[in-house]
């Protein structure tokens, strides 16, 4: 007896089950979206640590560089989710200062993606329709000229916008940011004619906060990290003193809207006491 009819039947059952699972997930996602929207309390500044691109590629059996490409596509999706919910500000951590020691070919691919995505964002209708102001934060001195030009063009084309604030943390490290802030403050005090002893005596947390890369937006009140790693790895160390954290097991390219909504629902259920 031929097994072909049995195989066809099995495939049909599997297809039906997959469709049912998809419908259930869609329904659950819609319910989550209503709950999050109805609650109304959303982060003023959302931090996103985009982790797990390489592990996603390895688990999927694809080239390492493709993991970063899929990760860039996911960042576009998440931007859309933030716009739909009206989140006022977001900082996405794309490349750390520690990543500079990675394989040169991989680093070149990441910087090439950064240039491409910066040019895409500069002409993205969503950016202009929603008046999104985009800024690249971090240390960029060693970046190729074409990458710097693309980032500068993106910043200039959105500099006057008053909608959502989007920070792209690239070549970024939290310790480096604090050091840079202290240097800026000391240089400012020197220009004002103060001695090092006077500047040191007067130094306050407010002085450092005023010289951070994104000093003109609120500190992040909610930070999501993907890939299952339970650490900040230096992300916005100064600003995150009272942030709420959420660690998601899924790799960044596999981060779904349902995962995003779950995280926000979790944030909405927390009692933020700010050390009190």
List active site positions: 51, 99
Non-local (6+) Cβ contacts of 59 within 8 A are 251
Has 207 been labeled as part of a binding site?
no
The backbone region for 220, taken as left when phi is positive above 0, alpha when psi lies in -120 to 50, beta otherwise, is beta
Q: Is 184 annotated as a binding residue?
A: no
Q: How far is the C-alpha of 239 from the C-alpha of 212, rounded, in Å?
A: 9
Known binding residue 17? Answer is no
133-137: strand order across its sheet: 133-137, 165-172, 89-96, 45-49, 222-225, 244-247
Say which residues have a Cβ less than 8 Å from residue 29's Cβ, sequence separation at least 6.
257, 258, 261
Is residue 61 marked as binding? no
Is 126 assigned a ligand-binding role in the annotation?
no
Say if residue 140 carries a ligand binding annotation. Answer: no
54 annotated as a binding-site residue: yes
- Per-residue exposure over 231-244, b if at least 16 CB sit within 10 Å of its own CB, e if not: ebebbbeebbeebb
DSSP SS3 for 21? helix
233 is in an annotated binding site: yes
Residue 270 assigned ligand-binding role: no
Specify binding-site residues: 51-56, 64, 68, 96-98, 102, 225, 231-233, 244
Specify binding-site residues for substrate: 52-56, 64, 68, 96-98, 102, 225, 231-233
Specify binding-site residues for Mg(2+): 51, 244
């Amino acid at each position: 007896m031929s097994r072909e009819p049995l195989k066809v039947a099995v495939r049909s059952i599997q297809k039906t089950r997959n469709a049912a699972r998809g419908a259930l997930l869609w329904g659950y996602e819609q319910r989550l979206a209503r709950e999050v929207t109805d609650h109304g309390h959303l982060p003023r500044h959302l931090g996103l640590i985009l982790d797990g691109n390489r592990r996603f590629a390895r688990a999927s059996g694809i080239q390492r560089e493709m993991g970063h490409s899929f990760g860039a596509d996911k960042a576009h999706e998440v931007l859309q989710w933030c716009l739909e919910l009206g989140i006022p500000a977001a900082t996405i951590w794309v490349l750390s200062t520690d990543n500079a020691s990675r394989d040169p070919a991989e680093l070149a691919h990441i910087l090439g993606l950064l240039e491409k995505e910066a040019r895409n964002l500069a002409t993205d209708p969503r950016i202009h329709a929603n008046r999104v102001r985009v800024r690249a934060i971090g240390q960029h001195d060693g970046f190729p000229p074409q990458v710097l030009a693309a980032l500068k063009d993106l910043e200039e084309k959105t500099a006057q916008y008053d909608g959502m604030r989007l920070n792209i943390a690239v070549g970024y490290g939290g310790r480096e940011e604090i050091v840079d802030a202290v240097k800026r403050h000391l240089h400012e005090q020197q220009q004002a004619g103060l001695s090092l002893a006077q500047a040191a005596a007067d130094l306050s947390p407010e002085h450092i906060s005023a010289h951070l890369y994104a000093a003109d937006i609120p500190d992040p009140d909610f930070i999501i990290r993907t890939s299952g790693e339970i650490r900040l790895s230096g992300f916005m160390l100064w600003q995150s003193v009272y942030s709420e954290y959420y660690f998601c097991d899924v790799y960044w390219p596999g981060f779904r809207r349902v995962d995003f909504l779950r995280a926000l629902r979790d944030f909405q259920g927390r009692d933020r006491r700010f050390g009190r």
